[in-house]
Amino acid sequence: MRLKEKVTLITGGAHGIGRAISRRFAREGAKVAIADNEAEALEEAGGLLRAEGAEVLAVVTDVQCKSQVDAMIDQVTARWGRLDVVVNNAGICRPSRFLEMTEEDWDRHMNVNLKGAFLVSQRAAKEMVRKGAGGSIIQMSSVNGLAAESEQAHYNASKGGLNLLMMSMALELAEHGIRVNSLCPGFIETRLTQPLIDNPQAIGNYVMSIPMRKVGQPEDIADAALFMASDESRYMTGHCMVIDGGQIIKLS
Q: What is the C-alpha to C-alpha distance for residues 9 and 88, in angstroms, rounded to an integer?
A: 8
Q: What is the C-alpha to C-alpha distance for residues 207 and 203, in angstroms, rounded to an integer?
A: 6
What Cα–Cα distance (Å) separates residue 222 from each residue in 19, 21, 24, 29? 9, 4, 6, 15
Q: Is 107 helix (H, G, I), strand (E, B) or coil?
A: helix
Q: What DSSP state is assigned to residue 232? A: G
User: Which CATH class for the 7-189+217-245 domain?
Assistant: alpha beta
Q: What residues act catalytically?
A: 155
Reported as a single tens digit per residue, the pLDDT across 4-49 is 999 999 999 999 999 999 999 999 999 999 999 999 999 999 999 9
Residue extents of the structural domains in the chain: 7-189+217-245
pTM for the whole structure: 0.97
- Which of 170, 149, 171 lies closest to 160 in space, CA to CA? 149
The type of residue at 159 is K
Reported as a single tens digit per residue, the pLDDT across 177-207 is 999 999 999 999 999 899 989 999 999 999 9
Contact 116, 64 (CB under 8 A): yes
